[in-house]
Structure 1
Amino acid sequence: MNFTERINQDIKNAMLAKEKERLAALRDIKSKLLLEATSGGSGEVSEEAANKIVLKLHKQRMDTYHLYVEQNRSDLADEELFQAKVIEEYLPKMMSDDEIRQVIAAKIAEIGASGPQDMGKVMGPVNGQLAGKADGKRVSELVKEALANL
Structure 2
Amino acid sequence: MSDSLKQRIDADMKAAMRAKDRERLGTVRLILAAIKQREVDERTTLDDTQVLAVLDKMAKQRRDSIAQYEGAGRQDLADKEQRELEIIQDYMPQPLSAAEIAALIDAAVASTGAGGMQDMGKVMGVLRPQVQGRADMGAVSAAVKARLG
TM-score past 0.5 threshold: yes
Cα distance in structure 1, aligned partners of 2:19 and 2:87: 15
Q: Is the 8 A contact 1:11 1:27 kept in 2?
A: yes
Secondary structure in structure 2 of the residue aligned to 1:72: coil
Q: Distance in 2 between matches of 1:93 and 1:128?
A: 21
- In structure 1, runs of 5+ residues without a counterpart are none
For residue 92 of structure 2, give the secondary structure of its aligned residue in structure 1.
coil
Q: Percent identity?
A: 32
Contact 2:66 2:81 in 1 (8 A): yes
Tell me the secondary structure at the aligned position of residue 48 of structure 1: helix
Change (3 A) 1:101 1:34: same
Rounded to whole Å, the distance in 1 between the matches of 2:125 and 2:138 is 14
Separation (CA, whole Å) in 2 of partners of 1:13 and 1:87 = 16
SS of equivalent to 1:94: coil
Q: C-alpha separation between the residues in 2 aligned to 1:81 and 1:12?
A: 22
Q: Is the contact made by 2:105 and 2:127 (CA closer than 8 Å) also made in structure 1? A: no
State the match for 1:92 in structure 2: 93
Relative to structure 1, the CA distance from residue 134 to residue 120 in structure 2 (aligned partners, 3 Å threshold; closer, same or farther) is farther
SS in 1 for 2:20: coil
Q: CA RMSD in A?
A: 1.9
- Whether contact under 8 Å (2:109, 2:123) holds in the other structure is no
CA shift, 1:7, in A, is: 0.9
Q: Deviations over 1:63-113 (max 9, x none)?
A: 101100000001111100000000010113333222222232234344342
Q: Which residue of 2 aligns with 1:119?
A: 117
Partner of 2:74: 73
Tell me if the contact between 1:65 and 1:81 (Cα under 8 Å) persists in the aligned partners: yes
Give the number of the structure whose alpha-carbon radius of gyration is greater.
1
TM-score by length of 2: 0.84
After TM superposition, the structure 1 stretch with the greater mean CA deviation from structure 2, 103-112 or 68-77, is 103-112
Counterparts of 2:66 and 2:92 in 1: how far apart (Å)?
18
Task: Tell me, yes or no, if the aligned pair for 1:37 and 1:45 is still in contact at 8 Å.
Answer: yes
Give the C-alpha shift of residue 21 in structure 1.
1.4
1:3-32 per-residue CA deviation (whole Å, 9 max, x = no partner) reads 121111111111122211111110110001
In structure 2, how many angstroms separate the alpha carbons of the residues matched to 1:107 and 1:45? 26
**TM-score (ref. length: structure 1):** 0.83
1:59 equivalenced with 2:57 (yes/no): no
Q: Where does the alignment leave 5 or more consecutive residues of structure 2 unmatched? A: none
Q: Which moved more, 1:53-62 or 1:91-100?
A: 91-100
* Paired positions, count: 142
